[in-house]
C-alpha cells in the first residue's frame, strides 16, 4: 500500500522532474571493445555498448553470461583487460551507486546508520547524514523501522534499506545486480514499482541486471541480452510501453508482444532453450 501511494506521489511530480533529469541528471555510459577474462575463459569479449543519460537499461541473460562481471566493470569494482569505459558527465565515477544481490547490510547497525553509511564514508557529519538518511528511509516507506536492526526485518524490507542506502549519495548512475531475485513474486513486484517510482522522480541512468524477461520488460526502456562466455550482445530491443507502468501494463497487449519478441529472439540465439 505504502509503495503504491508513494509511486503515485512520485508520478505526480514525475514528468517535470524526469524531463529535467533527461536533460542532464543521468550519466552516459560508453563501453568500447571491452574485454575481461578469468584465466582462459573470456567472460566479456570485445563488447561495445552505449547507454544514453537517463535510460533504464535491463541486462538480460542466463547465469554465467557475464552480466555481473559487466556491472562490476562499470562500477569500477573490477578492471577490464582491454577496451575502455567512459562515464560522460561523471569521469571519476563519483556518482555511481551499486545494489548487490543480497541486501548486504551491516548487522550491527540500525537501519538509520546503515542507510547513512555511504555519507559516513564520504566524511559527512553525523547530524547531517542522519537527517538525509531519515529522508531516504521515508522515501522507501520504512519510517517505522529506522531504529530496528537488519535481523529484525523481512527480506523485502532489507532490500528497501539497501535501495535507500544506494540512493543517499544522489547517484546519477544506479547499478543493480539482480536485486530482487531472492524475493517472493509479490514483494518483487512491489519493489519493481518502487524502483520505477524512484527512477521517474530522480531521472538517473539505471543498469538493471536480471534473468527475468517479465521484470526486464516491465521496468526497462531498453533490454539488452548477453550470450554466454563472452558471446557479446545478441539482442538490443527498445521497450516503448508508456510510463508509469502498473498492474494494467502486465496484462496489456504491448507488454505481451514485447515478451513474445524477446522470447522468440532468445530462442533463435539459444536454440538449446537454456534461457531462463
Partner 1 sequence: MPLTPPRLATWLPPVLSFDILTLVMELGLWVLAVPDYLLPRPSQVFIALYVNSAELGRSILQTSIAASAGLLASALLGVLVALALSINDVIRRAFYPYAVFFQTVPIVAIAPLLVIWFGYGLRTIIAVSFIVSVFPIIANTLSGLLSTDPALRDLFRLHRAGTWTTLLKLRIPAAVPHFLTGLRIASGLAVIGAIVGEFVADDYSQGGGIGTLVLVSIKELKTDKVFAAVLMASLLGLVFFALVNLISRFTRRHWHIAETRE
Which residues are at the interface with partner 1 (CB under 8 A)?
72, 75-77, 96-98, 100-102, 104, 106-108, 117-118, 120-122, 149-152, 169
d(CA 173, CA 82): 22
Strands (E), 106-179: 173-177
Please say which residue, 118 or 141, places its beta carbon nearer to partner 1: 118
In the complex with partner 1, the residue whose CB is nearer, 77 or 267, is 77
Please give the backbone phi and psi of residue 215, each rounded to the nearest 5 degrees, phi first.
-65, -40
> In this complex, which beta carbon is closest to partner 1, that of residue 92 or of residue 248?
92
Nearer to partner 1, 151 or 248 (CB): 151
Element spanning 191, H or E: helix 185-202
Q: Which of 123, 106, 124 is nearest to 115 (CA)?
A: 106
Least distance to partner 1, CB of residue 230, Å? 23
Smallest gap from Cβ 151 to partner 1, in A, equals 5
Cα torsion angle, 96, 79, 101, 67, sign? positive
Determine the 3-state secondary structure of 177 from DSSP: strand
What's phi and psi for 62, nearest 5 deg?
A: -70, 165
Q: Least distance in Å: CB of 199 to partner 1? A: 20
3-17 residues labelled b (16+ CB within 10 A) or e (exposed): beebbeebbeebeee
Q: Which is nearer to partner 1, 7 or 95 (CB)?
A: 95
Least distance (Å) between residue 150 CB and partner 1: 7
CB of 104 to partner 1, least distance (A): 5
Amino acid at each position: 500500500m505504502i509503495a503504491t501511494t508513494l509511486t503515485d506521489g512520485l508520478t505526480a511530480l514525475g514528468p517535470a522532474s524526469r524531463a529535467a533529469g533527461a536533460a542532464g541528471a543521468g550519466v552516459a555510459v560508453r563501453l568500447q571493445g571491452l574485454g575481461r577474462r578469468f584465466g582462459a575463459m573470456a567472460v566479456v569479449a570485445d563488447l561495445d555498448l552505449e547507454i544514453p543519460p537517463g535510460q533504464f537499461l535491463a541486462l538480460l541473460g542466463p547465469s554465467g553470461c557475464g552480466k555481473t562481471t559487466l556491472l562490476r566493470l562499470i562500477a569500477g569494482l573490477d578492471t577490464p583487460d582491454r577496451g575502455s569505459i567512459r562515464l560522460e558527465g561523471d569521469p571519476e565515477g563519483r556518482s555511481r551507486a551499486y545494489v548487490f544481490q543480497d541486501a548486504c547490510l551491516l548487522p550491527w547497525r540500525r537501519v538509520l546508520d546503515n542507510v547513512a553509511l555511504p555519507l559516513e564514508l564520504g566524511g559527512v557529519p553525523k547530524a547531517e547524514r542522519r537527517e538525509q538518511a531519515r529522508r531516504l528511509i521515508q522515501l522507501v516507506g520504512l519510517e517505522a523501522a529506522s531504529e530496528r536492526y537488519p535481523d529484525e526485518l523481512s527480506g523485502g524490507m532489507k532490500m528497501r534499506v539497501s535501495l535507500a542506502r544506494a540512493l543517499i549519495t544522489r547517484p546519477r548512475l544506479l547499478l543493480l545486480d539482480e536485486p530482487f531475485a531472492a524475493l517472493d513474486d509479490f514483494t518483487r513486484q512491489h519493489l519493481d514499482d518502487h524502483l520505477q517510482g524512484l527512477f521517474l522522480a530522480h531521472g538517473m541512468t539505471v543498469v538493471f541486471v536480471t534473468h527475468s524477461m517479465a521484470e526486464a520488460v516491465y521496468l526497462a526502456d531498453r533490454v539488452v541480452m548477453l550470450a554466454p562466455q563472452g558471446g557479446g550482445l545478441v539482442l538490443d530491443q527498445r521497450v516503448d510501453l508508456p510510463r508509469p507502468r502498473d498492474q494494467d501494463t502486465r496484462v496489456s497487449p504491448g507488454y505481451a508482444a514485447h515478451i513474445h519478441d524477446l522470447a522468440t529472439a532468445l530462442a533463435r540465439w539459444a536454440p538449446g532453450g537454456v534461457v531462463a
